[in-house]
Structure 1
Amino acid sequence: MTQIDYFLALQSPYVYLAGRRPAEIAAKHGAKLVYRPLDVAQLFPRTGGKVREERHPSRNDYGTQDRARQARKLGVTLDAAPLFRSANPAPAAYALIAAQAAGGGDLAGFVQAIGRALWAEGKDFSDDEVIRAALAANGFDPAVADRGMLMAAETYAANLEDAVAAGVFGVPFFVVGDQKFWGQDRLDDLDLYLQGKL
């Protein structure tokens, strides 16, 4: 079975814009989608990038315009400056890792719910109640993250190291064997590659 390693940061607007499409593409091709959340603030400086606060204003201005256009194109709500954008991403990432290990629920739905909480609903995506509600709404035991905390923390750190080793430098990033696809706007290319057309 083909495996797609999906490197992501749950606070990324582009992960939010990717929505369910990675899971839909994987299902279409009978591939296994493995969610690999990581600390993107540590990934950027290790791979030649900069966090938003360190980028030139022209880059940030363009990003704001581009995200607004992409959101309109996809028909989703996206707040240009969400209140909790700088909240700690680790708790939601740990929950995703623990939920994936436990199985039995809708991982794509959880990722989408966390993104929607931040980018469309004005919620603190690091808040325990927001995370528990997203887990429960997608078929997971809301306490799964509590039980898997140590394993999740270790996996979160390992995902960063694996990402750097694999040549990942941003999110969302998809790795299939030696092929790499960066950005929600490259999902069509991922689909075509899995069809054998690229």
Structure 2
Amino acid sequence: MKRITFWLDFISPYAYLAFEHLPQALEGLSYEVEYRPVLFAGLLKHHGQLGPAEIAGKREWTYRQVLWQAHVLGIPMQMPAVHPFNPLALLRLALAHGPNRHACETLFRHVWRGGADASDPARLEALRQQLAPVRDPASDEVKHALRQSTDDAIAAGLFGVPTFAVDDKLFWGFDALPMLRGYLQGDPWFEQPWREAARAAAASPIKRVRG
């Protein structure tokens, strides 16, 4: 049985879609999932990038695309009243509870179903009471756990969410689920082309084009 580490942030609509669709995408396969909340903004800061919702044009397209994908897959989804928002309270609540599938499902659906404000204090308090975490989400222990998780993600080579880690391989994005399935099924493609892509990337350093 393969172990999948699912790196996620509740702010990401693609992470929500991946979470909801994962059981169907991997139906019939033997695997277990470890859910790892991570601060997406921390990954972006480390790599000097902006998130999709921070770029004019791309923001509107992203919202349309995720809502279309949800429509096609039959996944209930509504944009929250405010996006992007600060996800720290949700990430810390997940870690305080223990980020199992039930907790992550509750938190994702808090954000991506109903169209309400994910950061509304009254809703957050109701969510905390519903999950009844074993640790205090505002404790230094939980805050440190989130920082450590983000540092671990960066050290593992992550640059975005959702990311699925299996063995020594990372699969980034909701649209990587078919690729992840192929790897879990033992597709021989991963023996040669996977390594060729790595060699090509190493042989062609990133260069900034100046206009």
* TM-score bin, normalised by smaller chain: 0.7 to 0.9
Of all paired residues, the percent bearing the same amino acid is 29
Alignment TM-score, normalising by the size of structure 1:
0.78
Bigger Rg over Cα:
2
Deviation (angstroms), 1:13: 0.8
**Closer, same or farther: CA 154–26 of 1 in aligned 2, 3 Å:** farther
Letter in 2 for 1:159: S
Structure 1 match to 2:179: 189
Deviation (angstroms), 1:45: 2.6
Q: Map 1:40-55; keep pairs closer than 5 Å.
A: 40-52=40-52, 54-55=54-55
Match of 2:164 among 174, 179, 185: 174
Match of 2:129 among 123, 128, 132: 132
Number of equivalent positions: 184
Letter in 2 for 1:34: E
2:35/2:101 contact within 8 Å kept: no
**Closer, same or farther: CA 155–30 of 1 in aligned 2, 3 Å:** farther
**Closer, same or farther: CA 70–53 of 1 in aligned 2, 3 Å:** closer
Match of 1:93 among 91, 102, 108: 91
Query: Which shows bigger deviation, 18-27 or 36-45?
Result: 18-27
Q: Distance in 1 between matches of 2:94 and 2:149?
A: 13
Q: Partner of 1:19: helix, strand, or coil?
A: helix
Gaps of at least 5 residues in structure 2 are 191-211
Residues 66-99 of structure 1: CA distance to partner in whole angstroms, max 9, x if unpaired?
Answer: 112111112123224x214344312221222233
**Closer, same or farther: CA 109–51 of 1 in aligned 2, 3 Å:** same
Alignment TM-score, normalising by the size of structure 2:
0.74
Structure 1 match to 2:2: 2
Structure 2 match to 1:61: 60
Does 2:108 align with 1:115?
yes
1:44/1:50 contact within 8 Å kept: yes
2:37/2:91 contact within 8 Å kept: yes
Deviation (angstroms), 1:58: 2.5
**Closer, same or farther: CA 95–122 of 1 in aligned 2, 3 Å:** same
RMSD over aligned CA atoms reads: 2.7
1:10/1:114 contact within 8 Å kept: yes
**Closer, same or farther: CA 149–62 of 1 in aligned 2, 3 Å:** same
Structure 1 match to 2:193: none
Q: Partner of 1:36: helix, strand, or coil?
A: strand
Q: Partner of 1:4: helix, strand, or coil?
A: strand
Deviation (angstroms), 1:191: 1.8
Letter in 1 for 2:107: I
2:43/2:154 contact within 8 Å kept: yes
Q: Partner of 1:174: helix, strand, or coil?
A: strand
